Amino acid sequence: MEVLIQPTPEAAARLTARIMADALRADPQIVLGLATGRTMEPVYRELVRMHHEEGLDFSLCRTFNLDEYVGLPSDHPQSYRRYMNENLFNHVNIDLRNTHLPDGMAQDLEAECAAYEAAIERAGGVDLLLLGIGRVGHIGFNEPLSPLLSRTRVTVLSPATIEQNAPLFPDPSQMPRRALTMGVGTILDSRRCLLLATGEEKAEIIAKAVEGPITSMVSASALQLHPQCVVVTDEAAASRLQGKDYCRWIFENDPKWEPYR
Ligand code: F6R
């Protein structure tokens, strides 16, 4: 894992967006994996800005989101499909037919999960997967004890995750109890992973994910096994990392990060 520590949440989001934009420019047909959540909003704002001001072209790329709530129709204000349309897809030149989220309204959820895995495979796999991290250490909605080799499936959200996301619902009791999510194994199959975490409330879980043991109690710790995983944080989210000075040293000295310094 490489950890890139930026001074502010805004700088961390900008760096994340730049890494994604550079990958998209290098391969306009890239398959992107995408995350939702509060942390990602400034990343998508920056990508939209790059589209308008720098001509960043999404016309050929394909996207697969990590997850979707069970039981919310795609036009529900809190569905992840709606989030993606409002934060990114409606503001760039992406072909909506190339954007994919699992269907949380599917009659047969198991079949939907299998079809989602098959669609990712048909697309040639995910080239670059954007990830956030929940307070319980989830990536996607892989809650504690998710098998490290799990595939796309239905998960039951933990009470901590419900507490984290329920305030986003006008009536918090309407927050679904289940979601469809790429599995930890599906995530690890992506060619590159890019995890963004900002804010003091992520500091403890980032330290566990990056420096703690690999354990299904902290799904994000499985990323330690990934050959190409970059973690971007602000100072606050990096504050509990024992190795943060070394992380800074690598960012300052590795020529590959030169254009991003
Ligand atoms: C959402 C997702 C989740 C979030 C995580 C952090 O698609 O995959 O893992 O990234 O819950 O959410 P925020 O950014 O709201 O703290």
Q: CA triplet 26, 27, 30: central angle to 5 degrees?
A: 135
Give the pLDDT band (50/70/90) at residue 21. very high
Q: How far is the CA of 141 from the centre of ligand 1 (A)?
A: 8
CA distance 159 to 132: 18
101 ligand 1 Cβ < 6 A: no
Nearest CA to ligand 1 atom 12: 37
State pTM to two decimals.
0.98
Asked whether 201 lines ligand 1 (CB < 6 A), one says no
Q: How far is 44 from 67, CA to CA, in rounded Å?
A: 17
| Strands 2-6 vs 229-234: parallel, antiparallel or unpaired | parallel
- pLDDT digits 0-9 by tens, 130-141: 999 999 999 999
pLDDT of residue 65: 99
| Residue type at 260 in one-letter notation | Y
CB of 139 sitting under 6 A from ligand 1: yes
* Rounded mean pLDDT, 117-136: 98
Judge whether 232 and 16 are in contact, CB under 8 Å: yes
Please name which of 205, 115, 105 lies closest in space to residue 151, comparing C-alpha atoms.
Answer: 115
CA of 78 to the centre of ligand 1 (A): 13
DSSP state of 258: G
pLDDT for res 61:
98
